[in-house]
Structure 1
Amino acid sequence: MTVELMATAEHAPHREEFAALYAQVQQFYAQQMRILDADADGGEARWAATFTEDAVVELPLLPAPLRARAGLTHYARAAAERRRRAGSRLHHWVGMLDVRPRPDGTLHTRCSALAHATPPGATSKILYVCVMEDVLVRAHGTWRTAHRRITRDDLA
């Protein structure tokens, strides 16, 4: 456990509760990215459903944030279509996760994220190195992303 994580865990009511919460958040991101990276049609709407209805997503190359699930679905569908035309597979890796519970029950998370593509018959190539900061809220018994801000190292 890193010093940062230990300091965060000390603020939680019990270390065991924080460890369970941390594992839930890791699982949430693993599922969210697995859905995003899936090639199956309809995955875009399932991915958007991991966000709140009124979610806001700030991406570095877009002039304005994406708003609401409909905007997220449209964006993800267009990106998936571009990948299909290019014939490459996209995968995301999330690590170095920091989870900070807030008094209102939300979570502030920050992690590193890598996006890499694998063209047919070629070696994977890292496309982006990002920092992803989220506000997660509990909705219908599961975590949902209410706000996401992504920054990229190459655009800083």
Structure 2
Amino acid sequence: MSSTLSALAELRAEVEQFYATHFHLLDSGAAEEWALTFTEDGAFHPPSGADPVRGRAALTAGVGAGYQRLLEAGEVHRHWHGMVAVEAAGDGTVRAKCYALILATPVGGTARVHLTCVCEDVLVRDGEKLLVAERRVTRDDLP
């Protein structure tokens, strides 16, 4: 394997591991820990087209409230990312683009696909770890 291909494979594996940890935190309701996987001023551009959510405090609040709504509704959501494409950008960032499925399961019920999306991230390094600097999510069912 060429050194370029080997480096890309290592980067892709690192990004996939990051996503596994990141989305396990989200789906378990660990809002503060999940927000710590963003930069201090990280931005999440929601698929609704609303203004981006910026900063760890706002990210924590939004995810915490969303998780509480799911608990009250008796529903579990799981995020599944696949077809992850990564690119090391010249500015030191990592660009990642993937397909995302959000599966919803009512307690005692049958799982269903809640949403299908495209997730585009700009990831940056903080020492040895990756953090999300910016995330854009585009829903497949919206124009």
Task: Report the TM-score when normalising by structure 1.
Answer: 0.87
Structure 1 consecutive aligned stretches of length 4 or more whose deviation exceeds 4 Å = none
Which amino acid is 2:65 matched to? A
The equivalent of 1:90 in structure 2 is 77
CA distance in 2, matches of 1:58, 1:134: 10
Matches within 5 A, 1:67-78: 67-78=54-65
Identity of aligned residues (%): 42
Q: Deviations over 1:8-60 (max 9, x none)?
A: xx8xx622121111100010001101111115xxx100000000001011002
Which amino acid is 1:20 matched to? E
* CA displacement at 1:62 relative to structure 2: 5.5
Q: Deviations over 1:84-141 (max 9, x none)?
A: 1011111000001110110111011110000111101111011110000000000131
Which amino acid is 1:17 matched to? A
Q: How many residues align?
A: 143
The equivalent of 1:19 in structure 2 is 9
* Aligned-partner SS, 2:20: helix
Which amino acid is 1:27 matched to? Q
More strand by share: 2
Which amino acid is 2:101 matched to? L
